[in-house]
């Protein structure tokens, strides 16, 4: 009986201990699960893993961080990653736009040596997980990041291809000037210099002088003579790296030819300007004199050493004023203000003025704007032209005074029928001076006025036909009567150049008509 109780007691104690151990195990497992959070990286995934929240990188594997750090593109980690992936995966952005609808994507690269890269994209819980896998990666080699190594190798291949296909000459020099490395363009040009019977040696053949390059001169231009005498020009740009120096030679043949063409064009312009009778002064954007011709010296009296110092526009005008070569102002300050206004007007293409100088000369001054804010000032001596104009006007006034003294009313019409001249007797006879009005005085409207003031006659229609027919014309006479009963003689004659003279003379009451006198003289002659 005692043995049964002892056995029962042992069984109960064993059950209690098993229950206690089970409870303890459950508690420990729950605590372990609570301490280990669920992560996207707990899955057994090889390759470089990136976790993005939108465009923000929130987590990544060491190989992924190494891949981003080797990329030299500026921007966020997502920008750097896309710059690397875009060269391997075609239409990367368009493919990733499918991710919100499909949830997961797997892409294979379309370029690059070896097996293609794999890109697995997954959208989970609002986060984007990108996994980049290189099938050639050896997972058994510790401390070796194949993905970063592959990126570096691809970048190195790209740089080598770029340097080999670069159209400019690139080379590296040692401290003593030896060419220790050169790209394909440099080697090809070196072969052109040596000729077909010579071979390249080591160190490589130097093509350009080293003095300016060693001094760090940038943008230096040098000439290279090829085998056979052909010449090429290059602009050299160097960059020092310790004792070595990296040099770039940019082709400058087009620039040299353009400069030569510009120099020839400037020489042609200079020779042309030198033979002009118009004084020319060109000022730059800061209104400093840049170009002038000999005629400017003759017209302004300014010394050549003064103009060679490239004075300003105001200084040139001040010097001209000191030599009485500008109109003398009453107020110097106002004159200076007018100079500034002249500069502004010339810059907008509005300045043109005639200067009457104290010495009796007359200058026409024209200011014209040029590209890039430059200003051209042209000075022309028009004293002879003004003198001829004054004489012409004086002759016209004298001729007008002479015909005004005639008692015969005179009017002259052009071949087109325009009234070009009339005298005071004409205005007195017909009661108006057509030259004093702003109207268009011509033969047609003058004949209309004459018809209104005269008795009906065919004279005026015959006169219109006579004036229009300028070939084989002869003078003819007629008589007409005003509405007040007065008679007057008409005389119409051709003038040089197709002009027509019309003359009217009132007849005295006791005078014999000129037409009758002419008829009587003709009868006596017969």
Element (H, E) at 182: strand 179-182
What residue ranges in 370-447 does DSSP mark as E strands?
375-381, 409-413, 419-422
Residue 45 CA to residue 66 CA, distance in Å, equals 17
For residue 420, give every residue at least 6 positions away whose Cβ sits within 8 Å of its Cβ, in sequence order, or none: 412, 413, 414, 499
The percent of residues in the chain predicted with pLDDT above 90, rounded, is 11
**pLDDT confidence of residue 201:** 66
Instruction: Pick the closest to residue 427 from 408, 413, 452, 445 (CA basis).
Output: 408
Q: What is the mean pLDDT of residues 96-102?
A: 85
**135-184 pLDDT tens trace:** 765 444 444 455 566 666 666 666 667 676 677 888 788 777 777 788 88
Q: What secondary structure does DSSP assign to 62-93, as a single string?
A: HHHHHHHHT----S-HHHHHHHHHTTTSTTHH
262 pLDDT above the threshold of 90: no
Asked, as a colleague might, if the bond just before 203 is cis with ω within 30 of 0, I would say yes
For residue 164, give every residue at least 6 positions away whose Cβ sits within 8 Å of its Cβ, in sequence order, or none: 183, 184
Q: Tell me if 415 sits within 8 A of 395, measured CB to CB.
A: no
- Assign 200 to helix, strand or coil: coil
Show me where the domains of the chain are located. Answer: 48-145, 166-255, 276-381, 400-525
**pLDDT confidence of residue 111:** 61
511 pLDDT above the threshold of 60: no
106 pLDDT above the threshold of 50: yes
**372-422 pLDDT tens trace:** 778 888 899 888 888 888 888 888 888 888 888 888 999 999 998 899 889
Length of the chain: 526
Q: In what order do the strands lie in the sheet with 419-422?
A: 419-422, 409-413, 500-506, 487-494, 476-481
Residue 391 CA to residue 191 CA, distance in Å, equals 79
Which residue shows structure tokens 């997954």? 122
Same fold, 48-145 and 400-525: yes
pLDDT category of residue 492 using cuts at 50, 70 and 90: very high
Q: What is the CATH number of domain 276-381?
A: 3.30.450.20
Q: In what order do the strands lie in the sheet with 220-225?
A: 179-182, 169-173, 244-251, 231-241, 220-225
197 pLDDT above the threshold of 80: no
**pLDDT confidence of residue 459:** 92
| Through-space distance between the first and last CA atoms of the chain, rounded to whole angstroms | 202
**291-337 pLDDT tens trace:** 888 889 888 889 989 988 999 888 888 888 888 888 877 776 777 67
For residue 505, give every residue at least 6 positions away whose Cβ sits within 8 Å of its Cβ, in sequence order, or none: 407, 408, 409, 488, 489, 491, 514
**pLDDT confidence of residue 43:** 47
Angle at 462 between CA 459 and CA 465, to 5 degrees: 150
**pLDDT confidence of residue 519:** 42
Residue 51 CA to residue 131 CA, distance in Å, equals 9
**pLDDT confidence of residue 525:** 41
**pLDDT confidence of residue 478:** 93
Q: In what order do the strands lie in the sheet with 104-108?
A: 56-60, 48-53, 127-133, 118-124, 104-108
Residue 486 CA to residue 506 CA, distance in Å, equals 7
pTM value > 0.85: no
Domain spanning 166-255, CATH class: alpha beta
Residue 188 CA to residue 191 CA, distance in Å, equals 5
- Across 120-155, b (16+ Cβ under 10 Å) vs e yields bbbbeeeebbbbbbbeebeeeeeeebbbbbbbeebe
Fold observed for domain 400-525: Beta-Lactamase (3.30.450)
- What's domain 48-145's architecture? 2-Layer Sandwich (3.30)
């Amino acid at each position: 009986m005692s043995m049964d109780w002892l056995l029962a007691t042992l069984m109960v104690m064993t059950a209690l201990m098993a229950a206690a151990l089970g409870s303890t195990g459950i508690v420990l497992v729950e605590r372990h699960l609570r301490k280990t959070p669920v992560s996207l990286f707990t899955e057994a995934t090889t390759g470089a893993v990136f976790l993005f929240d939108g465009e923000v990188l929130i987590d990544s594997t060491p190989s992924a961080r190494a891949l981003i750090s080797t990329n030299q593109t500026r921007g966020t980690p997502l920008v750097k990653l896309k710059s690397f992936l875009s060269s391997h995966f075609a239409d990367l952005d368009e493919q990733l736009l499918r991710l919100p609808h499909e949830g997961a994507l797997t892409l294979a690269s379309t370029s690059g040596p070896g097996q293609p890269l794999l890109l697995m994209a997954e959208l989970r819980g609002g986060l984007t997980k990108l996994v980049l896998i290189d099938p050639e990666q050896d997972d058994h080699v510790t401390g070796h990041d194949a993905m970063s190594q592959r990126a570096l190798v691809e970048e190195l291949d790209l740089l080598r291809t770029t340097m080999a296909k670069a159209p400019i000459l690139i080379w590296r020099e040692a401290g003593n000037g030896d060419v220790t490395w050169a790209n394909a363009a440099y080697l090809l040009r070196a072969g052109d210099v040596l000729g077909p019977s010579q071979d390249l040696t080591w160190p490589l053949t130097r093509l350009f002088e080293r003095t300016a390059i060693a001094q760090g001169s940038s943008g230096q231009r040098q000439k290279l003579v090829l085998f056979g005498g052909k010449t090429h020009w290059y602009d050299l740009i160097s960059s020092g790296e310790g004792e070595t120096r990296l040099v770039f030679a940019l082709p400058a043949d087009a620039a040299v030819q353009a400069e030569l063409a510009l120099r020839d064009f400037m020489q042609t312009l200079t020779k042309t300007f030198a033979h002009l009778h118009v004084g020319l002064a060109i000022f730059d954007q800061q209104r400093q004199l840049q170009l002038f011709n000999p005629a400017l010296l003759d017209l302004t009296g300014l010394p050549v050493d003064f103009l060679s110092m490239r004075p300003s526009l105001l200084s040139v005008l001040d010097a001209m004023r000191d030599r009485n070569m500008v109109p003398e102002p009453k107020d110097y300050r106002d004159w200076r203000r007018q100079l500034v206004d002249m500069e502004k007007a010339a810059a907008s293409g509005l300045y043109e003025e005639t200067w009457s100088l104290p010495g009796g000369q007359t200058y026409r001054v024209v200011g014209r704007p040029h590209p890039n804010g430059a200003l051209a000032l042209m000075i022309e001596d028009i004293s002879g032209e003004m003198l001829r104009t004054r004489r012409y006007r004086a002759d016209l006034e004298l001729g007008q005074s002479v015909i005004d003294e005639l008692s015969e009313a005179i009017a002259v019409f052009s071949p087109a029928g325009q009234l070009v001249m009339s005298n005071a007797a004409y205005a007195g006879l017909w009661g108006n001076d057509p030259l004093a009005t702003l109207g268009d005085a011509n033969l047609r409207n003058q004949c209309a006025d004459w018809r209104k003031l005269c008795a009906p006659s065919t004279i005026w229609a015959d006169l219109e036909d006579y004036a229009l027919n300028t070939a084989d014309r002869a003078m003819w006479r007629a008589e007409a009567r005003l509405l007040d009963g007065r008679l007057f003689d008409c005389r119409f004659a051709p003038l040089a150049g197709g002009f027509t003279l019309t003359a009217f003379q009132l007849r005295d009451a006791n005078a014999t008509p000129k037409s009758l006198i002419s008829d009587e003289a003709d009868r006596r002659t017969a």
